[in-house]
Chain A
Amino acid sequence: MTTEVGHRPAIRVHGLEKSYQELEVLRGVDFDVERGSIFALLGSNGAGKTTVVKILSTLLHADAGAAAVNGFDVATQAARVRESISLTGQFAAVDEILTGRENLVLVARLRHVAHPGAVADDLLDRFSLSDAAARKVSTYSGGMRRRLDIAMSLIGDPEVIFLDEPTTGLDPQARLEVWQAVRALAAAGVTVLLTTQYLDEAEQLADRIAILHGGRIIVNGTLAELKELLPPARVEYVEKQPTLEEVFLALTGDQTGDQKQEQS
């Protein structure tokens, strides 16, 4: 039975649709995420990345389509889904008034793990927060908050972790710290769904990348596959390998005209 679970994709999304009043945000989103991989959902602001994450983490109901996380349907087995996942939202969802350690203990208690204090101390150590453990989170830097946020997501050993724009608003150093933390997650066998608007982030971290544009996934593949999508002739004209940024801009099309003119 365990092998069967192992073969099922960690996340399966099919025909997902969602509108906010008149605004159609998702118009049939399909993708699978393999177990233990890092999957990046790439898109501009307002593309609907957060909406996808909210539906998958049972915070929002889809209008149509189906989604399953860890084999459980997000609409009908929401409680089982919540046992399987952890969400790190767009803003570091930490309690500012509590200390770093108290934040971890709080989540550990809510997840009903044994020895919440020991779990907290272990995570503080792993995320280099031991020195700041007894300080109020309001005194933390942006990078420290994000690290704490991700550490909180690991409690209870969730099988799938959603990271919604984990590095938005961070300075480059803090960004590298978060990247390290994400790589450590994948190394531990956790499935990570990451949304980002930073193309190099997807390039650095993800095993597979999907681009969400106009309410649909317009491409889905490895970085190498995505790079092949551009005609090779383009490589001859441009004296460098196409970066993912170029792939992205070429595929998503609009609003890129000005930028190209400026560059040439």
Chain B
Amino acid sequence: MKEHFLGDTAVLLGRSLRHITRSLDTIITTAMMPIAFLLLFVYVFGGAIGSRVGSYVDYLLPGILIITVASGISYTAFRLFLDLKGGIFERFQSMPIARSAVLWAHVLTSMVANLISIVVVVLVAVLMGFRSSAGVLAWLAIAGILALFTLALTWLAVIPGLTASTADGASAFAYPLIFLPFISSAFVPTDTMPGPVRAFAEHQPVTAIVNTIRSLFTGQPVGADIGVALAWCVAILVVAYGFAMVTYRRRIA
């Protein structure tokens, strides 16, 4: 069955990509909230914060990209849930195909959908005055980190997608993830936060990832942040993938 894995995944990926192109609203709603945050923080709060950090839209964009991914992956859980509920998941599982292709197709679809949303959000930021001195390598590094982060969170999203009993439940897990950037260096520097909050903010994954992307955007050395960011992404990926696979096996046992 191994030799079919790539072919089967490609066929199923084609299927879920069609879902996305036929329901573009999911991409728009995914990009809408981050764009709203971008507008709100740059044009409402930005004037008060911006004096400390230079161009506020430049400061803010990395965190907004994290929020974009966090809200985008909830659709993966949602789509997976619908497949399970509608019975088409069981149809695929009872067919002579590589079984894991069904999950991988959803995961790769999430990568594509999030890429589109991220491009849309970056374009809006550019319209709002975002400028970057990053070279090609720095942009590739940013793309790589975001891809790894998306992959990790997507496997996390597979778990509620497989276990939820309602569509709301399948996508609700994303709310804490969307909220996490607020208690990080994404919106404001951490040094004005009171002790415990600051300690949390400086030791959670979003801060390391946001700081790395911000350094890459502005052409600064990334320092130790990139190691911490990659470690977090890989750790989340491994744990989420493991739990997703256990859940999946239980689901089909």
Is B95 in contact with chain A by the CB < 8 A criterion?
Answer: yes
- Distance in Å: Cβ of B198 to nearest Cβ of chain A: 46
Residues of A within 8 A of B (CB-CB), count = 32
Is B86 in contact with chain A by the CB < 8 A criterion?
Answer: yes
B97 near A110: Cβ-Cβ < 8 Å: yes
Residues of chain B within 8 A of A112, CB atoms compared: 4, 7
Is A60 in contact with chain B by the CB < 8 A criterion?
Answer: yes
| Residue among A92, A94, A95, A98 with the highest chain B CB neighbour number at 10 A | A95
Residues of chain A within 8 A of B11, CB atoms compared: 106, 109-110
- Prevailing SS type, chain B contact patch: helix
Residues of chain B within 8 A of A92, CB atoms compared: 87
Is B44 in contact with chain A by the CB < 8 A criterion?
Answer: no
- Distance in Å: Cβ of A7 to nearest Cβ of chain B: 25
Question: Measured between alpha carbons, how far is A152 from B12 in the docked complex, in Å?
Answer: 15
B86 near A96: Cβ-Cβ < 8 Å: yes
Residues of chain A within 8 A of B137, CB atoms compared: none
Is A134 in contact with chain B by the CB < 8 A criterion?
Answer: no
Residues of chain A within 8 A of B23, CB atoms compared: 97
Closest to A152 in B: B91
Question: Measured between alpha carbons, how far is A111 from B91 in the docked complex, in Å?
Answer: 12
Residues of B within 8 A of A (CB-CB), count = 24
Is B58 in contact with chain A by the CB < 8 A criterion?
Answer: no
Question: Measured between alpha carbons, how far is A102 from B17 in the docked complex, in Å?
Answer: 13
A82 near B18: Cβ-Cβ < 8 Å: no
Is B140 in contact with chain A by the CB < 8 A criterion?
Answer: no
Interface 0/1 of A40-53, CB less than 8 Å to B: 00000000000000
A90 near B87: Cβ-Cβ < 8 Å: yes
Could you say which of B90, B96, B97 contacts A93, with CB atoms under 8 Å apart?
A: B90
Question: Measured between alpha carbons, how far is A88 from B253 in the docked complex, in Å?
Answer: 19
- Distance in Å: Cβ of A29 to nearest Cβ of chain B: 19
- Segment 1-56 of B: residues with Cβ below 8 Å from A: 1, 4, 7-8, 11-12, 15, 18-19, 22-23
A interface residue numbers (CB < 8 A to B)? 54, 57-61, 79, 82-83, 85-98, 102, 106-107, 109-112, 152, 156
